Amino acid sequence: MTQHKSEIRDGMVVEWDVPIPMEDGMVLRGDVYRPIGDGRYPVIATHGPYGKGLAFQEGFAGPWKALATNHPEALAESSNKYQNWETVDPERWVPDGYVVIRVDARGAGRSPGHLDIFSPREIRDYYEVVEWAGTQPWSNGKVGLLGISYYAVSQWQVAALQPPHLAAIIPWEGASDHYREFTHHAGIPSTFVSRWYPAHVSSVQHGIGERGARNPNTGEPVAGPETLTEEELAVNRHDPRIELRAHPFDGEYYRERSADLEKITVPVLSAVNWGHHLHTRGGFEGYVRVSSEQKWLEVHGLDHITEFYTGHGLALQKRFFGHFLKGEDTGWDQQPPVQLNVRHVDGGFEPRAEQEWPLARTNWTRFYVHPQGRSLAEGSPADDGSVAFEALGDGVTFTTKPFTEEVEITGPAAARLFASSTTADADLFLTLRVLDTGGKDVRFVHAVDPAGPVGMGWLRASHRAVDPERSLPYRPWHPHDHAEPLAPGETVQLDIEIWPTSVVIPTGYRLALTVTGRDFEFPGDGPWPVAYGVEMKGQGIFLHEDPDDRPADIYGGTTTLVSGPDRPSYLLLPVIPRTAEATTDV
């Protein structure tokens, strides 16, 4: 039986496995870290399936080693005994007068029950966790949410339920659309879940017990105390890998696992990474669509966790929460609505304050596809042309001429391509690349891959239908609720969303658009970094290689791109001018 224990250690009162009752009688378990002595403090809460007692150092040894090696300052001034993946370090927050709580979601870690990630039941539990935290004797009644990835996705969801004691949220690199970001890319299933779920969710399901890891601070099983059989564990969980196969189209299953962003009204700081195949789009969509009168956007680069734990992120988080949870004068009232870190080809970033997203002064520029010369140019082609490629081959690349002056591209992008296939369907993978003066790729640090392209977009041709009411010129909206097979050889119009990006391209460099029928890979023999058994060649672990979903007889045909006066294929890019003049006609 799980026991609630309390002790004073490392300058904090730490309560292990605190029982948190749910409305249906289930009891979840949370760890509470709070200042010593009487007082009422704001609360920072997380709720999720990763195991609150699993040490960062053990459960995610690779990222921990990279953080310790490359950014040792992020781990200074802490014993690091309580570090937990993608959550705040209590030793960095409790001394500032905050209570930190971590709660295992139903069916995970120390919380019994049925495990069903991102489900309505799980998010309702989170609502009740927020309300429980807001009414405890050590709470000042204001609860803030802060965490990365899973702990950001669920923030968007629970904030839409409007728990009364929720005061502010910081979703840091988190998706907000379960279909378009977490499981599919424009209708093409991602195999990420099949690798992530067994490695990091079912591995700490409640009932793994003695077969799993132990909390180094308590000695107790991370996913216990009971130890269940494999058969019992299987009955106690929904397997999303099975669910995704059963639901190829967007619909109720995905909508009830996605945030109703327009219902969010609390202050929001949405922190986004330029290069994340799972989270980039959701952070921008969240910022734009929430109804909150007080909302901010921060965009950064580098890998998935660095900016969260290092000085830049920590200072931002404390200024935001100090203002909204404690009523302190942190200078947040002077914070610009949008804070960008504009990406440069040398790997550096240029901090810049902005007032809106997308930027009002954007010069929306069409770069037309010219098949004959495989080029991109601002002038449309005078004659019809086409280029064909084997869908499972290296595809086709179109490049601009070397730029005669520095060009900044910052914002969402899109493409309109006219294409046909020799089969009944085709998957299109669009990759934006920057080529240096020698024609070599400039590779950018991505959240999960140390070398990635500057931008990416996708579309399954049979999902080409668009919703005109929800579409924008720079962000087509596909309902993904049915399939329209292609007639072999028939040319169709494909409007393709390219996720937001940023880069300053120097004089003499070129921009390239590569179109393939499979995941893009940088040319060369490597060596390539490996994660989850995957060689990462530019797309990280976010691949689309499920043979059951992409049989070669359908997705291994020949794709032909067409461009001409009547059917101009083009790339729409957000070019940021040197002056403040805006061009809104797209």
**Could you write out the three-class secondary structure of 276-335?**
CCCCHHHHHHHHHHCCCCCEEEEEECCCCCHHHHCHHHHHHHHHHHHHHHHCCCCCHHHC
Q: What is the domain-level CATH number for residue 415?
A: 2.60.120.260
| Residue-wise pLDDT tens digits, 337-364 | 999 999 999 999 999 999 999 999 999 9
Query: Residue 353 falls within a domain, yes or no?
Result: no
User: Predicted confidence band at 526 (pLDDT cuts at 50, 70, 90)?
Assistant: confident
User: Predicted confidence band at 579 (pLDDT cuts at 50, 70, 90)?
Assistant: low
Q: Does 499 lie in the same domain as 427? A: yes
Q: Are 413 and 455 in contact (CB under 8 A)?
A: yes
Q: Does 395 lie in the same domain as 273? A: no
Q: Does 418 lie in the same domain as 330? A: no
> Rounded to an integer, what distance in angstroms lies between the CA atom of residue 178 and that of residue 83?
28
Q: Does 381 lie in the same domain as 234? A: no
pLDDT the model gives residue 578: 65
pLDDT the model gives residue 257: 98
Q: Does 495 lie in the same domain as 431? A: yes
Q: What is the domain-level CATH number for residue 179?
A: 3.40.50.1820
Q: Does 311 lie in the same domain as 245? A: yes
Query: Residue 520 falls within a domain, yes or no?
Result: yes
pLDDT the model gives residue 3: 84
Q: How many contiguous H segments (helices) and E segments (strands) does the chain have?
A: 13, 27
What is the domain range of residue 109? Answer: 5-335
Q: Does 568 lie in the same domain as 473? A: yes
Token pair 């890019």 in the structure block, residue: 573
Domain final position from 335, 352, 376: 335
Q: Does 416 lie in the same domain as 290? A: no
Query: Residue 473 falls within a domain, yes or no?
Result: yes
| Residue-wise pLDDT tens digits, 230-286 | 999 999 999 999 999 999 999 999 999 999 999 999 999 999 999 999 999 999 999
Number of domains in the chain: 2
Query: Residue 343 falls within a domain, yes or no?
Result: no
Does the N-terminal peptide bond of residue 72 adopt cis geometry, omega within 30 degrees of 0? no
Pull the structure tokens for residue 451.
């070398």
Q: Does 456 lie in the same domain as 367? A: yes
Mean confidence (pLDDT) of the chain:
96
Q: In the predicted model, what is the mean pLDDT of residues 441-466?
A: 96
Q: Are 117 and 240 in contact (CB under 8 A)?
A: yes
- Check whether 54 has a pLDDT greater than 50: yes
| Residue-wise pLDDT tens digits, 466-502 | 999 999 999 999 999 999 999 999 999 999 999 999 9
- List 534's β-bridge partners, or say none: 531
In single-letter form, the type of residue at position 87 comes to T
User: Predicted confidence band at 582 (pLDDT cuts at 50, 70, 90)?
Assistant: very low
Q: Does 414 lie in the same domain as 315? A: no
Pull the structure tokens for residue 139.
């709470």
Query: Residue 355 falls within a domain, yes or no?
Result: no
| Residue-wise pLDDT tens digits, 361-412 | 999 999 999 999 999 999 999 999 999 999 999 999 999 999 999 999 999 9
pLDDT the model gives residue 585: 47
Token pair 């601009």 in the structure block, residue: 400
| Residue-wise pLDDT tens digits, 78-108 | 999 999 999 999 999 999 999 999 999 999 9
- HSE-CB at 515 with a 13 A cutoff on CA atoms is 32
CA 501 vs. chain centroid, Å, equals 13
> Rounded to an integer, what distance in angstroms lies between the CA atom of residue 421 and that of residue 44?
52
Q: Does 316 lie in the same domain as 204? A: yes
Query: Residue 137 falls within a domain, yes or no?
Result: yes
> Rounded to an integer, what distance in angstroms lies between the CA atom of residue 185 and that of residue 217?
40
Query: Residue 584 falls within a domain, yes or no?
Result: no
Pull the structure tokens for residue 40.
């009422």
Domain final position from 335, 355, 388: 335
State how beta strands 12-21 and 41-48 pair. unpaired
- List 479's β-bridge partners, or say none: none
Among 23-32, 198-207, 265-274, 573-582, the least confident range: 573-582
Q: Does 328 lie in the same domain as 369? A: no
Percent share of the chain, pLDDT over 70: 98
* pTM confidence score: 0.96
Q: In the predicted model, what is the mean pLDDT of residues 57-77?
A: 95
Query: Residue 197 falls within a domain, yes or no?
Result: yes
pLDDT the model gives residue 201: 98
